[in-house]
Every structure is written in structure tokens, then in C-alpha cells.
Amino acid sequence: MAEMKTAKYVRTGVTMPSQHEKVEQPIIALNSDENYGNLGFSVFWECIPAPFEMVSEHHNHDFPQYLCFLGGDGKDMLDLGGEVELTLSEDGKNLEKHVITKATTVYIPAGLYHCPLNFKRVDKPIIFMNIFFAKEYSRNS
């Protein structure tokens, strides 16, 4: 059968390995690149199976970002099943640590300092979803 004209709109199995040894499953990625909408954003889904500190140093970006923490049980994603610590700061000096124990979304506007990000307790896999609105990911320290 000839390839469907609309095949260009569908991507399957787009993954990348995690840089973190605790994350054994591949990261699933949606990248709106020049061949896929060219809208300048990316979404990554990552399965966190065990406690570890994912990012140690606080930083910010020139672009907005969302971080989502969801339970890994598809039938009950509201049950986070763990505890996540995330530090936020508007000025990079007054650091505020948030303790997340429920399914949570975090909006990080451009310039908002964030991290450390610590998956402190993981009773069951946590789905970490990272959405950023830029063609390339980069950090300001």
C-alpha cells in the first residue's frame, strides 16, 4: 500500500535516553520542529521510578516552562505516590522550597529561578512532564 499522505502528521516511538541513571525508561518526546508544526515548543514525558535529585543548581530560562508531576497509575494519575521538593525564587536569593505530594502543575515564567528538583520519596512511579516554549533548551545560571 502506498504511504498515506497524512503520514507526515503522525510520529511514533520518538524517544531519547535519560541523562539520569535512576531513570531507566526512555523519555518520550514531542518536538514541534520545522517538520512538525514549527511552533517552537517541546514536551517530554519521563517515568521516575526511584528517589533522586534530578537538578541540583537553581537556574532560569529566557522562555516559559511548565513542569507537571503526575501519578504513574493511568487509572489514578491524581495520586502522586511520592513527595517532590522543588525550589522557586523570583529574585534568585529568596529561595522557597515547595513540597509536592499531590498531582501538581508548576508554571515557570521566563526569568523565574527554579530548582533544586528532588524526587524525595517515590512509592510508585511518578510521571514527570516537562513542557518548554523554545526551539532549543538552554539555561541561565
Partner 1 sequence: MAELKTVKYIREVPTRPSNHKEVTSPILFIDTHFALQYSKQSKG
Binding residues for partner 1, per CB under 8 A? 64, 66, 68, 70, 74-78, 88-90, 94, 96, 98, 100, 102-109, 112
Residue 24 or 62 with smaller CB distance to partner 1: 62
**Strand, helix or coil at 59?**
strand
Going by C-alpha positions, the residue among 33, 38, 30, 25 that lies closest to residue 14 is 30
- Residues 111 and 20: their CA atoms lie apart, in Å, by 25
- Minimum CB separation of residue 134 from partner 1 in Å reads 15
- Minimum CB separation of residue 29 from partner 1 in Å reads 18
- Minimum CB separation of residue 109 from partner 1 in Å reads 6
- The dihedrals phi and psi of 33, each to the nearest 5 degrees, come to -85, -170
Question: Do the bridges between strand 27-31 and strand 113-122 make them parallel or antiparallel, or are there none, so unpaired?
Answer: unpaired
Residue 27 or 100 with smaller CB distance to partner 1: 100
Residue 5 or 75 with smaller CB distance to partner 1: 75
Q: Are 48 and 128 in contact (CB under 8 A)?
A: yes
Residue 17 or 110 with smaller CB distance to partner 1: 110
- Minimum CB separation of residue 78 from partner 1 in Å reads 7
End-to-end CA distance of the chain: 52
